[in-house]
Amino acid sequence: MEETIYLGNGWQDATGMNVSINVEKFNEALRAGRLEVNKYGDVKIRVGKLKTQNERSKATHYVAVPKEQRETFPKATTVDDLPF
């Protein structure tokens, strides 16, 4: 199982969410190749809901490096590659 790399916290309110990201952890994940910058300069991150609100920080969400997505079927490149 892949270890979750936490980057920060999020707080949900009535109109949206505030997110705090630790710059040192973010830069470390970027240098280690755990985060990928696309051709537009964007980086994907994962924001997940905590099971219970953090008592100390009152955070309702966490910010982390996204887990690798696993494909159940290889992508079809032609009609002949389709599984049916």
pTM: 0.75
Residue 24 confidence (pLDDT): 97
Residues 7, 25 contacting (CB under 8 angstroms): yes
Mean pLDDT value across the chain: 87
Residue 71 binned pLDDT confidence (cut-offs 50, 70, 90): low
Q: Is the pLDDT of residue 70 over 70?
A: no
pLDDT tens per residue, range 39-67? 999 999 999 999 999 999 999 999 999 98
- From residue 62, alpha-carbon distances to 33, 35, 71, 73, 82 in Å are 20, 16, 25, 30, 38
Residues 61, 51 contacting (CB under 8 angstroms): no
As beta bridge partners, residue 21 has 8
Q: In whole angstroms, give the CA distance from residue 55 to residue 33.
A: 32
Residue 2 confidence (pLDDT): 73
Domain ranges of the chain: 6-81
30 burial (CB, 10 Å; 0-12 / 13-18 / 19+) is middle
